[in-house]
Amino acid sequence: MAVDASNQIWLTSVLTDDQVSRALTLYCSLKRTLTSRKTGVIISLKINPSGKEILYKNFDFVIHLEKERNVWNLKDEEYISVYPISLKSFEKIVYLSPYMLVSNRGFYFAHKIIQNLNVKLIFIYL
């Protein structure tokens, strides 16, 4: 039985200008897996116009983070983790941090170690 991917989405977020390139890297890694699912990005209003333009050109959906719906007054970084639940347009949503990469073998998570600013890669095997 074929899976209907039309109402499923890979979703990430961009809250700062420096996350634009990370989200695009994630987007490219998703496309390399030949996924049939849509791609989307939730963006903050703080992103500069050139960054927004690049995201609009690549992702299937660009969703603006609606701060007025943040009734708990969470920080943007916290709010972004619950915001996808409110998106009723999709049956299945997989939220990926903009610091992740995807391959046909699994997910990679690039995590910054603050103390010495090294990058650590964590592999999650599926």
Break the chain into its structural domains and give their ranges: 8-99
pLDDT at position 123 is 40
The model's pTM is 0.77
Mean pLDDT of the chain: 79
Q: What is the DSSP string of 43-84?
A: E-TTS-HHHHHHHHHH-SEEEE--GGG-TT---HHHHHHHGG
Which has more confidence, 84 or 14?
14
CB 41 within 8 A of CB 93: no
Does domain 8-99 fall under CATH 3.40.50? My reply is yes
- Over residues 18-28, the pLDDT tens digits come to 999 999 999 99
- Over residues 71-80, the pLDDT tens digits come to 788 888 888 8
- Tokens 């699994």 locate to 106
